[in-house]
């Protein structure tokens, strides 16, 4: 809960009030990630302390650049906890293959798990989005692109993804040496329940510059708010209609 106060002078202050404490679903588990869903629920990913390093592994390429490992080998047992207004839920996943996973809720009790990186190779890209049902069973997987900075879902099941610069301009095989154009080339994209992209940010139209890095993304119902580099405009997207400040 937050209450904004305006002091007599100076920077506006925001007072934070503690709402709840997240606790591990079982002894020996540690937090991997936590995010907020469209109904203000908290959805968290947990793993055994000994397994967390595999979910957050990194590697260096031939040039010495460091990347998060997109996939875990072998997959890691994980637990997703869902803390809503009326009840809590615990979903156990026998083998989660995504590095640095972030969870978001989908309608019908389904859960979307997304890894931020997807390496492209000639034989295909890493599938970095997986949907599980309320019992932790695999439903579908897909590719949301590389360089994901934000992922949020709406109550209707739309999936909004904001990308940082590598996801926009290309890296990790995308957009280089014969690789395809990055899925995040627009900087902000929407995907459907089938994990297929159905909308891209129309940078360069209506006076809006392109997104080089999606710094901020937030949803209010089906309305999307973003702020990005360059220019740092505040943009509202409502049913495809854009307004910027």
Residue-wise DSSP of 59-88: EE-TTS-EEE-SEEEEEEEEEEEEE-SS-E
For 83-100, the pLDDT digits (tens) are 987 778 999 999 999 999
Which contacts (CB < 8 Å, 24+ apart) does range 137-140 have? 139/110, 140/194, 140/195
Q: How many CA atoms lie within 13 A of 6 on its CB side?
A: 0
For 106-116, the pLDDT digits (tens) are 999 999 999 99
**Number of Cβ within a 10 Å radius of residue 232:** 9
Angle (CA) 186 184 196, round 5°:
105
Lowest-confidence pick of 2-11, 12-21, 131-140: 2-11
| SS3 label, residue 166 | helix
Rounded to whole angstroms, the Cα distance separating 104 from 187 reads 20
Residues comprising the chain, all counted: 245
**Which of the four pLDDT bands, split at 50, 70 and 90, describes residue 177?**
confident
CA terminus-to-terminus distance, the chain: 27
Contact predicate 222/205, CB 8 Å: no
Provide the percentage of residues in the chain whose pLDDT is more than 90: 81
For 37-80, the pLDDT digits (tens) are 999 999 999 999 999 999 999 988 777 878 899 999 899 999 99
């Amino acid at each position: 809960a937050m209450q904004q106060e305006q002091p007599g002078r100076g920077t506006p202050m925001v007072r934070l009030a503690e709402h709840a404490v997240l606790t591990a679903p079982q002894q020996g588990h540690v937090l991997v990630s936590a995010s907020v869903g469209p109904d203000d629920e908290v959805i968290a990913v947990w793993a055994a302390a000994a397994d967390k390093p595999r979910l957050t592994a990194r590697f260096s390429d031939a040039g010495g650049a460091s990347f998060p490992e997109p996939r875990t080998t072998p997959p890691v047992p994980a637990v997703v906890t869902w803390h809503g207004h009326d009840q809590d839920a615990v979903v156990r996943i026998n083998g989660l293959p995504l590095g640095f996973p972030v969870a978001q809720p989908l309608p019908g009790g389904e859960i979307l798990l997304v890894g931020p990186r997807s390496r492209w190779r000639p034989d295909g890209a890493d599938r970095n989005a997986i949907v599980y049902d309320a019992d932790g069973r695999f439903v579908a997987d897909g590719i949301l692109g590389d360089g994901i900075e934000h992922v949020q879902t709406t109550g209707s099941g739309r999936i909004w993804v904001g990308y940082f610069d590598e996801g926009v301009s290309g890296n990790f095989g995308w957009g280089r040496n014969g690789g395809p154009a990055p899925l995040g080339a627009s900087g902000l994209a929407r995907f459907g329940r089938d994990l297929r992209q159905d909308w891209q940010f129309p940078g360069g139209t209506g006076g809006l510059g392109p997104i080089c890095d999606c710094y901020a993304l937030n949803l209010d119902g089906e309305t999307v708010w973003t702020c990005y580099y360059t220019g740092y405009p505040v943009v509202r997207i409502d049913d495809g209609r854009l307004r910027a400040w």
